[in-house]
Amino acid sequence: MSDATPRRIVLLRHAKADWPSVPDLERPLADRGRHDAPGAGRWLAGTGIVPDLALCSPAVRTRETWKLAAHELPRRPRTVYEERLYEATLGDLLALLNETPDEVADLLLVGHNPGMHALADALSGKAEGDLLSRMNRGGFPTSSVAVVTFSGSWKTVEHGVGTLTAYWAPHD
């Protein structure tokens, strides 16, 4: 793939989690989360984007979200459970993107806030229509999905490099 290769980054925030007396990493989805996660998958399937690679936080709530969302896709992409996605800072997320192999055109990250929202906002130098204001006004709620496009190598991903081309939240 050349430096002009169009690429897409799909950012999926985990669905609504429950708050039982377990360590944070082990928090499962709440009933609302189990309802909303397949909707995120159906929305993603409707866009026609089938990621080449999915990186998912190892937290129970992100794994459950991804399982329910991926079930709605025409095919499940290769999935890697990436420990660095749990409690990731914006810098951690940019570093992960920079490590993505260039044969990957479409990458999906399943993670947590504030990182997912911060990454979508930081990458989006431009946006189609009012997508950026809609995303920022809503605060990137659970089960939200943002799609950012850019051209070039993953090694060149930095602030403002992309265009926010799609945004979905379950209660829009």
Query: pLDDT tens across 77-112, in order?
Result: 999 999 999 999 999 999 999 999 999 999 999 999
Residue 1 in this model has a pLDDT that exceeds 70: no
Residue 165 in this model has a pLDDT that exceeds 60: yes
pLDDT, residue 2, reads 53
Strand order in the sheet with 106-111: 78-81, 53-56, 106-111, 6-13, 145-151, 162-168, 124-127
Largest CA distance in the chain: 49
Exposure string for 50-71, b = 16+ CB within 10 A, e = fewer: ebbbbbbbebbbbbbbbbbbbe
Give the DSSP letter string of 98-164: HTS-TT-SEEEEEE-TTHHHHHHHHHEEEESTTHHHHHHHHT--TT-EEEEEEES-GGG--TT-EEE
pLDDT, residue 172, reads 76
Query: What pTM does this model have?
Result: 0.96
Q: For the beta carbon of residue 118, count every other beta carbon within 10 angstroms.
A: 17
CATH, range 6-168: 3.40.50.1240
pLDDT, residue 74, reads 96
CB 95 within 8 A of CB 55: no
The residue assigned the tokens 């490099």 is 161
Sorted by where each begins, the domain ranges of the chain are 6-168
